[in-house]
Amino acid sequence: MPQKTAFITGISGQDGSYLAELLLEKGYRVVGLVRRSTHFHHENIGHLVGKVTLEHGDLMDASTIEDILAKHRPDEVYNLAAQSVPADSWAQPIVTAEITGVGPLRILEALRKLKLPARFYQATSREIFGGAPQEVVDESTPFLANNPYGVAKLYAHLMMMTYRQSYDMFACGGILFNHESPRRSLHFVTRKVTMAAACIALGIKDPPLNELGEPLVQGGKVRLGNLDAGRDWGYAAEYVEAMWRMLQQREPRDYIIATNTYYTNRDLCQVAFARLGLDWREHVESDPRLMRPTEIAAARGDYSKAKAELGWQPRTQFRELIEMMVDEDMRRLS
């Protein structure tokens, strides 16, 4: 079998780094897109330098994307790059539309123009269901995105489906529910909580900054948004396996990847602080400035189709996942 080439956008992110590891293990040549910045500071892929080929580019720039695809002629393209923070999409709706919504279209257009037969994976999100009233959603649930990020992801998902139908492309949308890991960025509540718990336990004087540009921990407390909000949280390293499996099928289809479990931010805080012998109620407070204008409703994802057709199911439990993140933050800070 000739060696396959995979192109990953967003390789420096949480999922991109795990996917690159998985594909290297499987013998792929891995090419990754990174944004040019003044310094190389890609923490998640430092250990992969020399093993993957990095190309500089931006999802906003169609011509560079086309040049990179023409140069490497990948067999599989995984589009993981995005303005990926739903909460930030309220402050930056236009940038979110440009990167998260139109960005994937720039790749699809490049593939079409170059007549490349590459298989395409689009990182769709459960946020496309937004305010859907069902407690559990599956692939047949109507899309009701209700924040700028979800709307941008929905546009990209529908364009991916349109290109699949219109141009006979092998294109799949992985409708992933929240997934976390020690590589999760501090923009997300799980990592905020595990990092804050570790900072408090170790008495760190100069904690990282939160999304408001303020110290993550002030006066021994971390500020969060809605403590009653909850999510279906899984482990990122397992979710990238599902992405790969989607592109190995005979037919391109879309799949929900989730755990079908539900925990609130209170549960998250309880598990994280208890891991360090702390009572979360003494260290967490809700801050109205961190509330979302609208909350998503649909709570859990039914992954039965992925289980039946991809042979995929989640393995890591919520508690295990959060404790792993706390332990890793303790190790890093120590």
**Sites of contact with ligand NAP (CB under 6 A):** 9-10, 12-16, 33, 35, 58-60, 80-84, 99, 123, 125, 176, 178-179, 185
Residue 304 catalytic? no
By beta carbon distance, the residue nearest ligand NAP is 13
The shares of helix, strand and coil residues in the chain, as percent rounded to the nearest 5, are: 45, 20, 40
Nearer to ligand NAP, 98 or 309 (CB): 98
Cα dist. 277→46, 109, 203, 268, 326 in Å? 33, 53, 14, 14, 12
172/131 Cα distance (integer angstroms): 23
Q: Is 179 left (phi over 0), alpha (psi -120 to 50) or beta?
A: beta
Element (H, E) at 8: strand 5-9
Shorter beta-carbon distance to ligand NAP: residue 16 or 130: 16
If the CB atoms of residues 83 and 210 are measured against ligand NAP, the closer one turns out to be: 83
State the distance between the two ends of the chain, measured CA to CA, in whole angstroms: 46
Instruction: Single out the catalytic residue among 78, 121, 149, 303.
Output: 149
Least distance in Å: CB of 275 to ligand NAP?
21
| C-beta of 58 vs 67, nearer to ligand NAP | 58
Question: What is the closest distance, in whole angstroms, from the C-beta atom of residue 45 to ligand NAP in the complex?
Answer: 9
Are the C-beta atoms of residues 296 and 225 closer than 8 Å to each other?
Answer: no
Q: Which of 21, 55, 127, 180 is catalytic?
A: 127
When the beta carbons of 82 and 284 are compared against ligand NAP, the nearer one is 82
* CA 27 to chain CA mean position, Å: 24
> Which residues, 6 or more positions from 267, have their beta carbon under 8 angstroms from its beta carbon?
230, 318
The least distance separating ligand NAP from the CB of residue 262, rounded to whole angstroms, comes to 15
Closest CB to ligand NAP among residues 254, 283:
254
Sheet with 221-224, side-by-side order of all strands: 217-218, 221-224, 284-286
DSSP 301-317: E--HHHHHHH-----S-
Asked about 125 being catalytic, the answer comes back as: yes
How far apart CA 6 and CA 20 sit, in angstroms, is 9
Closest to ligand NAP by CB, 137 or 176: 176
Q: Respond yes or no: is residue 127 known to be catalytic.
A: yes
- Using an 8 Å Cβ cutoff, are 53 and 29 in contact? yes
The least CB distance from residue 168 to ligand NAP, in Å, is 25
Q: Kindly report the CA angle at 311 between 310 and 312, in degrees rounded to 5?
A: 85
Least Å from the CB of residue 26 to ligand NAP: 19
Helices marked H in 146-186: 148-167
Least distance to ligand NAP from the beta carbon of 74, Å? 16
Question: Annotated catalytic residue: which of 84, 125, 235, 303?
Answer: 125
* Residue 247, burial from CB neighbour count under 10 angstroms (0-12, 13-18, 19+): buried
In the complex, least distance from residue 286 CB atom to ligand NAP, rounded to whole angstroms: 22
CA distance 243 to 81: 14
Asked if 236 and 18 touch (Cβ cutoff 8 Å), the reply is yes
- Catalytic residue annotation: 125, 127, 149
